[in-house]
Each structure stands twice: as C-alpha cells, then as structure tokens.
Structure 1
Amino acid sequence: MTRGPQRIVCLTEEPTEALYALGEQHRIVGISGFTVRPAIARKEKPKVSAFTSAKIGEILKLRPDFVIGFSDIQADIAAELIRHGVEVWISNHRSVDEILDYIRRLGALVGAADKANAYADELQRGLAVIEREAATLPRRPKVYFEEWDEPLITGIRWVAELVRIAGGDDIFPERAAESLAKQRILEDGSEVVRRAPDIVLGSWCGKKFRPDRVASRPGWAAIPAVRDGELHEIKSPLILQPGPAALTEGVAEIARIIRAWAAKR
C-alpha cells in the first residue's frame, strides 16, 4: 500500500533536493523556479513559485495534496493555499541540527522514515569528519559571512554553525542567533572593520559576489581579510538553502577556504 502524499509542490529547493536524495522524487509535481539542485529537477518538474511569490493558479491546477515551504517569508503564499483547501507545511529550521531533523520529518511525512534517518545519519557523519579535520588547524580564523550587500546582511544561524564546524569563528554570532533577516542587517559597516575578520565569505543571494566592491568600502582596507586578499564567494545554492547542499558541498567549500588560509600561516 502506498503511503503519504502523492502530489507534492515544493516552494523552495531543499525539500526537492531531499526528496530526490531519498528516491521519492516521483511525488513532486511542482518546484521553485530557484531550484538548481539536483539539476534534473529543473528539466523534469514545472516551476510554479519564486521565494516570496507563487503562481497560485498554476499550483492549484497541479492538484497538490501537500505543499512544502520555508519560513515566515512564505506565510502569505501558505495562507492563500490553505484558503483553497490545500494542506501546507511551512518549516522554519535555522540550525544544523534542525536541518537534520527536517530531513527526518520530511521522510516520515512521505512514508520513507527509514531512508530519511539513514540519510540524515550519513550527513551527520560527514560533518563530524570535517569537524575532526578542523580541530587539527593551528589557528582558527575569524570569518565574516555576508548574505547581501545592500544593505549588509550577516550570516544566518546554520551558516555560522557550518563555519565553526569547518574551523572558523563567525564574527557576528549574536546576529546569527536571530531568526529574521531584518535582525541580521548591519546598520554600521564599520562594525566589520572593528571585528577584523581574517576571511570574508560572500554569498549574495541570486547575484555574483564582487570582492572588488567589498575591498573598496570606506575603511575596509584595514581588515585583515581585505589586506590579505581573503575575499571568497560561496555560491548561494550551496549554502543559503537549509538543506542537504549546505551540509555537504557548502561546508566542504568553507573548510577548503579555511584550510588554504591556515596553510599560508
């Protein structure tokens, strides 16, 4: 007997990536237009949403029995679908542990709990390997993660945690603990100068990171990362989605940058 929802619309990338990883992609009937992982999803599935907006009519035509979204930012989309009688799950996971738990819950919801638990365990083991390697570094760099440049927005909680796992220390841990993006806006860019990061990681959601623009900000020439040319882009699909990508390729890329920084010292 087949269990769980059979016609799922994913409003963000991470449930799509997770369901493909679990071999449950046949349940997906619609995805976010921002989905890039796995690449085959863009070819196979109709794109029916952005992040803050969605084609409600197109979603309803797909006759979904379950819609999965993420965060307060998609509350209006969820409310409209609920008014049309659609069952909606809006997750709000913000930490590494919550991402792992999200994968377990998603698996349980589609009747694939055993596969999801095994997959989450595998992801956790991968993180443990990176953390053990990072423990051998002679020194931990201070890291500034920039999610957006106008205004400056610092890294979200799972990013700060992945930086720590990879061997660095996020310079704005108090901001990372905040759940809303508006609480991570830096009113004063000179605060980055004062905290003197050794490495700057940029992931400007949806547009290319420009190290030259960062380096030319008033006063930023004094930052060790700028002085030493340690301004690096992490592609947003690898780190800004609270799903499998961040826990695999995203954290691996951060660890690679930190190891290269340490090797020079």
Structure 2
Amino acid sequence: MKTLTDQLGTTHTFETSPQRIISLVPSQTELLYDLGQEAKIIGITKFCVHPYHFKSTKKSVGGTKKVHYEKIRLLNPDLIICNKEENTQEIVERLSEICPVWVTNIITVEDNFQMITDFGQLFNCRTEAQKWNDKLAFALSDFKNFIKDKTVKKVAYFIWKNPYMAAGSDNFINELLKLNHFKNIYDDKGRYPEIELEKMKTEGDPEIVFLSSEPFPFKKEDGYEIGQYTNKAQTILVDGEMFSWYGSRLLKAFDYFKMLRKNLEK
C-alpha cells in the first residue's frame, strides 16, 4: 500500500504500483519512456511524437484537449497521467470515473525535478528517476555558468497566430526565457495574452521575436510580417519542444539554448 500526493495536492492510494498507464501529455510520455516504463504504457495522444515508434506500438486515445473516453475505458488503465495546463479540469473529472488520474503542474524547473521524483516513487523506478534528476541538475548548473555573463535581451515569444498569442507569465516557457537571460515583454499580461501587433513597440519593443514551432507552426514569412511592427527586432524560428516540453527533454534543451545564444551573438 502506497499513498502519494500529486502536484495539485490530490492524494492517491495504490495497493500496487500502476502497471497499465495512459499518458495524455506528450512530454510526460517521453519521460516515462526514458524512465524505462515503455511496457506499462498502453495509451497515448496523437501528439505524443517521442519516441517515434510509439506511433505504431501504442493505442492513440485522442488529443490533449479532446479524448475518446470509451477507448480509454476499454483499455482498462489503472492510472491516467494528465497535466493542469495540457488537459482541462472537465477531462480530469470525467477520467476520474474510470480510474485514478495523476495530475502534474509544471511551472518551474524545480517542479520538473519534483515530477521526476514522483514518477520514480509511483512506478518503482527510483534509481532511474534519480539518475535523470542528477543529469538535469548537472546540466542546469553548467548552463547557469554558461549564461551568467550574457546580456539580458528583451524578447517576445509567439505561440499562436489568428489571433496572435504570446507566452506571458506563470508558465514553463517564461521560466526558461528567464533562465536564458531573456526579458519577456509580455510577462505582465497574464499567462498567454492575445497580442495586437500594432502595440508591440509601446508594450516593450522587443530586440528578439521568437516564433515557436508549436502549438502553431510558424514560418519565415510570419517573421517578416511581425518584424514590421518592431524597431528592427531579430525574428527567429525556434523549436517549441525545447522551450515548452518538461521532463527529460530539458536535457536536450540546455544544449539547444547554448547553440541559440551563440547564434544570436554572431
């Protein structure tokens, strides 16, 4: 018998470690794989693209915002993993009628460490979880040393078009921007504000505009359009997974951030 509390403060009691897991969060699907839990994963979303072979070996149960409840029920899971931002409260409540739902809530890098520790306890893979946290802690320390003398630059990080939306405050993207010594001009506008391009100059006039590859797949021509509303800001297409995927993906992100910063300084 094991009693554990998820990141929303919900307490769960398990007689045995869960053996049939459905993951409704792409980055957490990847983390489960990296923790050696592949055999236990029975269901994923259509957005769970890492590792690639899951597409053909695991059952898709929908997206992150729209799930097929009957498909999930028929898979007979003993745990469903959700995330506060990725999955709605309504989804979590309905899924709770099928089996326990573990909800993560990742805003900071520290939250990420906690999630990995929690998964180690949940799935009896404490050693693997500790290894990942050690690797991430080392990479984080190394990156902080790399970035410490770098200039702080004003940025806008766009995530959507029609309407234009950017990353604001109180989310993982903004935490990683801060870690990179980027000052988010929209960090006082709420979590994901809608943006009027005409007001960009008066609302902070960024030196750099990042256009994310997800959830909206921005293209180069979008950069030309948005750039017109700034005083000669650099517009750069960035890998959205590196800025928004938590879990084990963060290890690759630190190398990506170093490369990004070096390219900016050319």
Is TM (by shorter chain) over 0.5? yes
Instruction: Pick closer, same or farther for the CA change 1:155–1:216 going to 2, 3 Å.
Output: same
**Alpha-carbon distance in structure 2 between the residues aligned to 1:134 and 1:75:** 37
Q: Gaps spanning 5+ residues in structure 2: where?
A: 1-14
1:198 aligns to 2:212 (yes or no): no
Match of 2:257 among 243, 249, 254: 254
Partner of 1:128: 141
Q: What does the per-residue CA deviation read over 1:125-148, in whole Å, with 9 as the maximum and x for residues that have no partner?
A: 2122122111233x2222211111
Cα distance in 2 for partners of 1:161, 1:106 equals 22
User: Is the counterpart of residue 231 in structure 1 residue 235 in structure 2?
Assistant: yes
Letter of the 2:196 partner, please give it.
Answer: D
Return the TM-score normalized by structure 1.
0.84
Give the 3-state SS of the residue equivalent to 1:35 in structure 2: coil
- Determine helix, strand or coil for the equivalent of 1:83: coil
CA–CA distance in structure 2, aligned partners of residues 233 and 219 of structure 1: 16
Q: State the alpha-carbon separation in 2 of the partners of residues 196 and 62 from structure 1.
A: 51
Question: How many corresponding residue pairs?
Answer: 248
Indicate the residue corresponding to 1:33 in structure 2. Answer: 46
- 2:179 alignment partner AA: I
1:258 Cα shift?
2.2
SS of the equivalent of 2:61 reads strand
Contact conserved, 1:30 with 1:47, CA < 8 A, in 2?
A: yes
Q: How does 1:94-243 map to 2 (within 5 A)?
A: 94-137=107-150, 139-155=151-167, 157-175=171-189, 178=190, 183-194=191-202, 195-217=204-226, 220=229, 222-225=230-233, 230-243=234-247
Cα-Cα RMSD: 2.3
Q: Distance in 2 between matches of 1:50 and 1:67?
A: 14
One-letter code of the match for 2:127?
A: D
C-alpha distance in 2, partners of 1:161/1:198?
Answer: 19
Equivalent residue of 2:255, what SS?
Answer: helix
Distance 1:124 1:171 in 2: 28
Instruction: Please state how far the C-alpha of 1:235 moved relative to its aligned partner.
Output: 2.8
| Helix, strand or coil at the partner of 1:105 | helix
If each structure's helix is expressed as a fraction of its own residues, which one has the higher value? Answer: 1
2:92 to 71, 78, 89: 78
What's the counterpart of residue 244 of structure 1?
Answer: 248
AA partner of residue 242 (structure 2)? L
Identity of aligned residues (%): 21
CA deviation profile, 1:77-103 (whole Å, cap 9, x unmatched) = 22222223x111122222221122111
Match of 2:65, SS state, is coil
Alignment match, 2:8: none
Measure, in 1, the Cα distance between the counterparts of 2:71 and 2:145.
47
Distance 1:255 1:146, change over 3 A: farther
What is the TM-score when the length of structure 2 is the normalising length?
A: 0.83
Q: Contact 1:141/1:258 (CA < 8 Å) preserved in 2?
A: no
